Amino acid sequence: MKKLLSILILIIAVAGTATAQCEYYVVSNGSEWEMETYNAKGKLTARNQQKVTQFNATATGFNAMINSIMLNDKGKETMKGDLEMKCENGTLHFDMRNFVSEDQMKAYSSYETKIESKSLETPSKLSIGQTLPDGSITISAVGSPLPMKMTIVITNRKVESQESITTPAGTFACYKITSLMNMQSQMGVNMSFSFTSTEWLAPAVGTVRSETYRNGKLNGYTILTKRKG
């Protein structure tokens, strides 16, 4: 469960980080930033360092590869990998396959996998009351003796308000966006987890703060601490 929450926080942070075609997602080759994650009591639990390692401008936006390293509260590396981002005609497309960890995919390594996904999209123009598109991914194992299937769906994405948020990286004018995430896993036993999240998105910077809740209680939060480029 802790690893899943770390992945969710990591993705929320990256999804809020791009060229003029995507107003809220401005990055370039070599851009880097750092996020810190805390539990509900305010104790540091993880640090996430991210850097753009590949950036290709296109006629309608860009394609970027982001190297992401997760460290625990002691500074020991716990997870790393590359995430893909695409800006197209003013809309950021974030591949939902990035919500699935390497460890989760290992469970399917012995079988042929079928993947169906819908990218998570965020437009450049936001307004209070606006509803944003859903994102989803379903992974199933073909030929498994027991049903093996995992589905992650992000819904109810809504722009709630405009607020000023201060973090160690500065003070930012943001849009506050809420959403619901549901994960269902079937590996002999059916399991389901639901989370709600709130993120504060600043123009040109991306997500500067995000909070994750379960059963109405704060589970943890992440803040932007450093940004360069």
Residue-wise pLDDT tens digits, 67-125: 888 888 999 988 787 888 889 988 988 878 766 665 666 677 777 888 888 888 999 89
All structural domains of the chain, each given as residue ranges with its CATH number in brackets, are 2-228 (2.40.360.20)
Q: Which two tokens stand for residue 163?
A: 């607020």
Residue-wise pLDDT tens digits, 44-58: 999 999 999 999 989
- Measured between alpha carbons, how far is residue 215 from residues 42, 185, 197 in Å? 19, 19, 11
Residue 15's H or E segment, with its range, is helix 2-15
Establish how many alpha carbons lie within 13 A of residue 2's alpha carbon, considering only the half-sphere containing its beta carbon.
9
**pTM for the whole thing?**
0.80
Alpha-carbon span 22 to 71, nearest angstrom: 29
Question: What is the maximum span of the chain, computed from C-alpha positions, in angstroms?
Answer: 54
Alpha-carbon span 4 to 134, nearest angstrom: 20
pLDDT of residue 21: 59
